A and B are shown apart, each in its own frame.
Chain A
């Protein structure tokens, strides 16, 4: 790709992303008192993660079976409150072994 075009894409991409993140953070410096709004903002991280994870996670590997195995591993490890890395690694490993088994059988 032409280097000039690449940098234009890059600037547009990074510019939009940065403004979305920085503007609310810079402009809103007061505490929000409204209970509804506060509750809404408290729930937002979890609803975002929920909506991003399901059902996309089921399509994140080669096969549904390996994805289900990975989700199962993640749910179990997370239930026992293992760290982020342990849970992610556990999901990858189990998904990997199921995919390996599918490849060999």
Chain B
């Protein structure tokens, strides 16, 4: 029971962060010609940001189903890496049927918060953690779809930075405590800037860019700064606060 409560508590900030991003999604979905319930259904079934925005573009443009599948595959392939990583973190209470359900909610933020716990995580914690972000994501979409147009544009645009603020809030404390993370993250950021600014690399789609940068940087990190099991456990205890 304590685990569920802890999970719910840890999920609230994620949910609030999701409100603003999904609000934007709801708004854009209606602008693209969908109804509010279609927007909410997309959010409830996908629970992902980048993939949904890209999917919305394809729907609006009447793109091919194959294109839809390929785009989702590329943009969301990072979740496969995260799920693999998360599979190492859960305890034995997360049995087969629970994996089918919990797997649905592996988002960047839920994953990051779960991984930053100092110990193995139970299915109770995961269910608690999933709850509020799911509700926040779907209700934010509904609000954006219904109310979005009454907000002036520059207010809507300043909400766009919210999700990145959350990412920064996860990265910075880690970097402060363990210097090798800074180096590994800087490699990823450097590569990602190359893809954004070097002419012929710009053509690579954003989903691929994230995978390429993350895999190369984490690979370099694992090679140059391997984390020994004992050392890993010690540092994990030190960073128990998040």
Q: Is the CB of B226 within 8 A of A36?
A: yes
Known: A13-B51, A53-B168, A84-B169. A6 touches B59 (CB 8 A): yes
Q: Which B3-36 residues have C-beta < 8 A from chain A?
A: 12-14, 16-17, 20, 33-34
A60→B164 CA distance, assembly (Å): 9
Check if B161 sits within 8 Å of A95, measured CB to CB. yes
* Cα separation A19 to B155 with both chains bound (whole Å): 36
Residues of the A chain whose Cβ atoms lie less than 8 Å from the Cβ of B187:
47
Q: Complex Cα distance A62/B161, Å?
A: 10
Closest A residue, CB atoms, query B113: A84
The 8 A CB mask of B66-96 against A (1 = contact, 0 = none) is: 0011001100111111111111100000001
Contact between B157 and A61, CB atoms less than 8 A apart: yes
- Number of B residues whose C-beta is below 8 Å from A? 105
A50 lies within 8 A of chain B by Cβ = yes
CA of A15 to CA of B185 in the docked complex: distance in angstroms?
Answer: 31
Is B135 an interface residue, CB under 8 A from the partner?
no
Q: A105 near B: Cβ within 8 Å?
A: no
Residues from chain B with Cβ under 8 Å of A51 in the complex? 188-189, 191-192, 209-210, 213-214, 217
How far, in angstroms, from A23 to B84 measured CA to CA in the complex? 9
Given contacts A91-B161, A96-B155, contact A78 B169 (CB under 8 A): yes
Distance A10 CA – B55 CA, assembled complex (angstroms): 9
Cβ of B234 under 8 Å from chain A: no
Q: B178 — nearest CB in chain A belongs to which residue?
A: A46
| Nearest chain B CB to A59 CB, angstrom units | 9
Near B by CB (< 8 A), chain A positions 16-46 give 16-18, 20-26, 28-29, 31-32, 35-46
Given contacts A41-B88, A57-B164, A84-B169, contact A21 B103 (CB under 8 A): yes
Please tell me the number of chain A residues within 8 Å of chain B, measured between CB atoms.
Answer: 76
Given contacts A42-B227, A47-B185, contact A9 B58 (CB under 8 A): yes
CB proximity of A15 to chain B, nearest CB, Å: 8
Taking the complex as formed, is A83 at the interface, i.e. its CB lies under 8 A from any CB of chain B? Answer: yes
The interface residues of chain B lying within 8 Å CB-to-CB of A41 are: 81, 84-85, 88, 218
Q: Chain B residues near A20: list those with CB within 8 A.
A: 72-73, 76-77, 79-80, 83
Q: Is B200 an interface residue (CB 8 A)?
A: no
Name which of B161, B176, B197 has the most chain A CB atoms within 10 A of its CB. B161
CB nearest to A27 among chain B residues: B87
Instruction: Tell me if B46 and A14 are in contact (CB < 8 A).
Output: yes
Nearest chain A CB to B137 CB, angstrom units: 13
* Contact partners of B38 in chain A: CB under 8 A: 1, 6, 10
- Chain B residues contacting A86 (CB-CB under 8 Å) are 169
8 pairs, A vs B, C-beta closer than 8 Å = A20-B80, A21-B79, A39-B227, A41-B85, A44-B214, A46-B174, A53-B167, A99-B158
Q: A12-B69, A25-B83 are in contact. List 17 more A-B contacts (CB 8 A).
A: A6-B59, A10-B42, A13-B45, A13-B68, A24-B81, A25-B87, A29-B99, A32-B88, A35-B228, A38-B232, A48-B214, A55-B192, A57-B168, A70-B161, A84-B13, A84-B109, A96-B155
